[in-house]
Amino acid sequence: MTPPPSPPTQPPRFSALFTIKFIPSLFSLFSSLFFLSLFTFTFPFLLPHLLPSATPPPFPFHVYSEPHTLNPEPPQPPPVATGQSVEYYVYPSGDSVCVCQISSADRENATKEKRFPADPTSCSINTLTSTVDCLETLVGFESGEILLIDSISFNQLCKFNSGSSLNQSRVTDLCWIPGSSNMFVAAFGNGMILVFDRDKDDSQKGGSGYSLDSTGKPDTHFFVHHPKTSKSNPVARWHVGKGPVNHVCFSHDTKMMCVCCHDGHARIFDFTSEKLLFSFRSHYGAILCAAWSPDSQVLVTGGEDDLVVAWSIRDKCPIVRCNGHTSWISSIAFDAELCDPEDMDDGNYRFHSVAQDGRLCSWDLCDRNMIFTRKRTGAKSRNTSFASPPAQARVGAAGSLVCEVPRADEIASLAPTSNALIDTEPLSSLAIAPQCLITSCFSGEVKIWSRPNPASPKKLPRSVADADDDD
């Protein structure tokens, strides 16, 4: 059986552009020469307008990880024709490090990931050295090793604690030291914090076997080791406690470092002098996360007691208990644009928290929002930054003050401004972008939420606040 003849194939469309019929006439010959001369004369002037620029103009960008934000240094020119700012969110998920381009219109292809032999546990972006073409990110692993990679190309730049020679415990948190482009701290699951310099190699003698200069008090579970030579990493070894270190964060004035420990303490250190200033203790269980206010006067912690607690740094006592979650607190972040700390008594602090109950809570910390379960007694003048009564502090083993969370009837409580169930999976991290809130859950899914109402709550007039004290 003879197959039916196939239909004639159509030539490509662009071939018609190059098809010219020749007419053997003198007029056509002169016409062709005229247009050819005109095209040859004008083409060099039209070429720059027809072809795009070989190097696209620079544009500003922001990068987000948990919980760091990247601001370009030096500042880039304002947006141009290419236009929109680029926003990245970097986070670990399973055996991968995921990079999500928040500003991408293509949501399905906005996230890319890099798999590693060991499970990554934490990451931190260098805000001083990252550029549009290179996003320098520290990645810590279960094995204790630390990699410095470019999160855009996923090229490895440096490696620290290679082969777990300096510390064999898992990396629990990483944080670049504010104002430094090469120094960072790494927290481990055995209660140690190592200070690294990216420009130095690891010590060949490993975690022991070389002479050290010690400062601190070893009998109180806090002391610092310094190597006699500073030619290799680590620069310093901090022995903070017996249990794991869950989180490390620096105050915005770069003077203090908060270390959230599994023994229920949030220890406040003077990082430069390496001294323990005081500690905040949870109601029970470990403290898992913390965040500093923009003015470094308020510290908010969350942990296994399902409580978010605000602490006064100036008065070294708790301000208020925030009741809204029903499971462990995973991450806390202040919204700097909606904080108005012009006065400690009349100001307002807006912060958000996520927990393993899948809820996102927003809080407005101001005097008028506090709820007291019983009448305050004592002097009329406030002894704390807010209206809460002062808590009883005790002297810890290291000679520093340790302040605990009082009972519910002895301290003011704060209800969330908004409390929404946003995920059926436990939430793991939270970041605040200029135009949105970013949350991620344990399964690695990232969700982007619109910003809450930017209007900050009205402040309580000073005369009304004083009238409450006089009653």
Report the pLDDT value the prediction gives residue 249, as an integer from 0 to 100.
95
Q: Where are the alpha helices (DSSP H) in 63-218?
A: none
**Mean pLDDT calculated for residue range 20-33:** 49
Using an 8 Å Cβ cutoff, are 196 and 144 in contact?
no
Q: Which residues pair with 114 in a beta bridge?
A: 97
Q: Say which DSSP state 52 is in.
A: P
Q: Which residues contact 104 (CB under 8 A, 6 or more apart)?
A: 110
How far apart are alpha carbons 44 and 31 in whole angstroms? 21
Closest CA to 110 of 442, 406, 448: 448
What is the pTM for the complete model shown? 0.73
Q: Determine which helix (DSSP H) or strand (DSSP E) holds 70, and give its type and residue range.
A: strand 69-70
pLDDT digits (tens, 9 = 90+) for 265-277: 999 999 999 999 9
Strands (E), 102-161: 111-115, 120-125, 136-141, 146-150, 156-160
Report the pLDDT value the prediction gives residue 4, as an integer from 0 to 100.
54
Choose between 29 and 290: higher pLDDT. Answer: 290
Closest CA to 334 of 302, 369, 286, 307: 302
Taken as a whole, the chain contains a residue count of: 471
pLDDT digits (tens, 9 = 90+) for 300-327: 999 999 999 999 998 888 999 999 999 9
Least confident of 33-37, 96-100, 209-213, 417-421: 209-213
How far apart are alpha carbons 56 and 49 in whole angstroms? 15
Asked whether the predicted pLDDT for residue 248 surpasses 80, the reply is: yes
Angstrom CA distances, 311 to 258, 322, 341, stand at: 12, 11, 15
How far apart are alpha carbons 370 and 382 in whole angstroms? 14
Choose between 460 and 7: higher pLDDT. Answer: 7
- Dihedral of CA atoms 418, 124, 155, 55 in degrees, nearest 10, equals 70
Q: Which residue type, as a one-letter code, is found at position 394?
A: R
The CATH number of the structural domain formed by 294-471 is 2.40.128.630
For the chain, residues classed under CATH 2.130.10.10 are 60-77+85-239
For the chain, residues classed under CATH 2.40.128.630 are 294-471
pLDDT digits (tens, 9 = 90+) for 93-143: 888 998 888 776 666 777 888 999 999 999 999 988 887 778 899 999 999
Q: Is 3 helix (H, G, I), strand (E, B) or coil?
A: coil
Q: Where are the alpha helices (DSSP H) in 286-344?
A: none
Q: 60-77+85-239 architecture in CATH?
A: 7 Propeller (2.130)
